[in-house]
Amino acid sequence: MSRDQIYSLPQTRIGDFTFDDAVADVFPDMIARSVPGYSSILSMIEQLASRFIRPGTNVYDLGCSLGAATMLMRGRAPATSRIYAIDNSPAMVARLKEQIGSEPNRCDVVVQEADICDTPMSNASFVVMNLTLQFVSIEKRTELIQTIYDSLIPGGAMLLSEKIRFDEHDQNLLMVDLHHDFKLAHGYSELEIAQKRTALENRLLPESIDEHTVRLRDAGFRCVAPWFQCFNFASILAVKMEPAGPGTELSK
């Protein structure tokens, strides 16, 4: 695994962050050293795959990057299910296709270079957006979540992990500072942290847990469970409930 040194030298002009070849080369190191609790989220994705993926259904890893979640789900998915790993980064998609080709055959994995906002989805039992929605334009997020909900079978689930912000100023400042300390503790310099922050400020647009929860409920998810938080990163499990029995209100 190559070490992330993309922002280690001073840059006269810092452009917007992009998932290009340079980032793809160091991405596992970058995300492990930048996202507190990342390994815990991945292990939960693997566990949830066993619980929610059904034979003959589709699974979507939206914004799959190098396919860490895809590969874990593939190990737990029934052979008759199919995983769609989708990302708009050519560099990420190319590397994932190489990895998929070298793995033993399990369930079918389809790797696609595409915009997740324009991707048709259907017959889904499990959908993962692991640190992806934060890079989608805010005005497109509601429609995307609705598309995901509509694609899920009853009993299907969505896992949404995001960098979050806090409405209370002092709380938000504290979490930002603790995240800063986390990156320092994992070997990033003040220069690297500052330059990457500048590159991300127009690309990564965080929202609060409440904003995500309201959007998920408005889409139709009756069970919305924030299950993980570490500093300013959180993960939410949302389940499309089975229809209720006779004489009770049906879920949307």
Q: Going by DSSP bridges, is the β-strand pair 108-113/233-239 parallel, antiparallel, or unpaired?
A: unpaired
95 contacts: CB under 8 Å, gap ≥ 6:
24, 66
Q: How many CB atoms lie within 10 A of CB 150?
A: 14
Q: String of b and e for 34-59 (b: at least 16 CB within 10 Å)?
A: bbbbbeebbebbeebbeebbbeebbb
Task: State the Cα–Cα distance between residues 13 and 30, nearest whole angstrom.
Answer: 21
**Which segments are annotated as binding site?**
38, 63-65, 87-88, 115-116, 130, 197
- CB-CB contact of 45 with 130 (8 Å): yes
**Which segments are annotated as binding site for S-adenosyl-L-methionine?**
38, 63-65, 87-88, 115-116, 130, 197
